[in-house]
Amino acid sequence: MTSPLLKRTPLFDSLTRAGGRMVDFHGWELPVQFAGILAEHQAVRTACGVFDVSHMGQIFLAGREAHRFVEHVNCNRMSAVPGRGTYAHLLAEDGGILDDAITFCLGPERFLAIVNAATCHDDFAWFRQQAEGWDVALDNASDRFGMLAVQGPNAPALVADLFPAARTLPRFGIVEVPFGGGMAILMRTGYTGEEGFEIAASPAGIQEVWEELMRRGGQHGLVPCGLGSRDTLRLEAGYLLYGQDADTSRTPFEANCGWVVKLQKGDFIGREALIRRQEAGFREKLTGVRLLERGVPRHGCAVWRGDRQIGTLTSATFAPSLGTGIGLGYLQPDAWEPGTRVAVEIHHKRVVAETVRGPFRKNKV
pLDDT digit string, tens, across residues 17-35: 999 999 999 999 999 999 9
Report the candidate in 233, 250, 230, 337 with the shortest Cα–Cα distance to residue 289: 337
Beta bridge partners of 22: 31
pLDDT bucket at 2, cuts 50 / 70 / 90: low
Max intra-chain CA distance, the chain: 64
Model pLDDT, residue 186: 98
Those residues with Cβ within 8 angstroms of residue 307's Cβ, 6 or more apart along the chain or in another chain: none
Cβ 199 vs Cβ 151: under 8 Å: no
Element holding 320 (H helix, E strand): none
Q: Which residues pair with 71 in a beta bridge?
A: none
Mean pLDDT of 86-98: 98
Please tell me the distance from the alpha carbon of residue 140 to that of residue 170, in angstroms, as a whole number: 26
Report the C-alpha gap between 156 and 165 in whole angstroms.
Answer: 11
Q: What dihedral do alpha carbons 123, 125, 127, 132 form, nearest 10°?
A: -170
pLDDT band at 5 (very low <50, low <70, confident <90, very high): confident
Domains in the chain and their CATH numbers? 12-54+145-236 (3.30.1360.120), 57-141 (3.30.70.1400), 283-356 (2.40.30.110)
314: helix, strand or coil: strand
pLDDT value at position 32?
98
Report the mean per-residue pLDDT for the chain: 97
* Per-residue confidence (pLDDT) for residue 318, from 0 to 100: 98
Arithmetic mean of pLDDT, 322-339:
98
**Average pLDDT in the 74-88 region?**
98
> Is the confidence at residue 57, as pLDDT, over 90?
yes
- Type of residue at 227: L
Bond prior to 164 in cis (omega within 30° of 0):
no
With beta carbons less than 8 A apart as the criterion, state whether 224 and 326 touch: no
Q: Which pLDDT value is given to residue 3? A: 59
pLDDT attached to residue 364 = 87
Cα 102 to Cα 71: distance, rounded to the nearest angstrom: 12
47 CB-near residues (< 8 Å, 6+ apart): 152, 153, 154, 220, 221, 222, 223
CA distance 163 to 285: 41
For 198-223, the pLDDT digits (tens) are 999 999 999 999 999 999 999 999 99
Share of the chain above pLDDT 70, in %: 99
Greater confidence, 180 or 75? Answer: 75
Model pLDDT for residues 275-317, shown as the tens digit of each residue: 999 999 999 999 999 999 999 999 999 999 999 999 999 999 9
Which residues are 149's β-sheet partners? 51, 198
DSSP 211: H
Neighbour tally for 336: CB within 10 Å: 15
Give DSSP secondary structure letters for 76-130.
SPPP-STTEEEEEEEE-TTS-EEEEEEEEEEETTEEEEEE-GGGHHHHHHHHHHH
pLDDT at 4: 65
Query: How many CA atoms does the CB half-sphere of 29 hold within 13 Å?
Result: 19
Instruction: State how far the Cα of 321 lies from the Cα of 316, in Å rounded to an integer.
Output: 14
Burial 159-171 (b: 16+ CB within 10 A, else e): bebbbeebeebee
pLDDT tops 70 at residue 235: yes
Residue 2, CB half-sphere, CA atoms under 13 Å: how many? Answer: 18
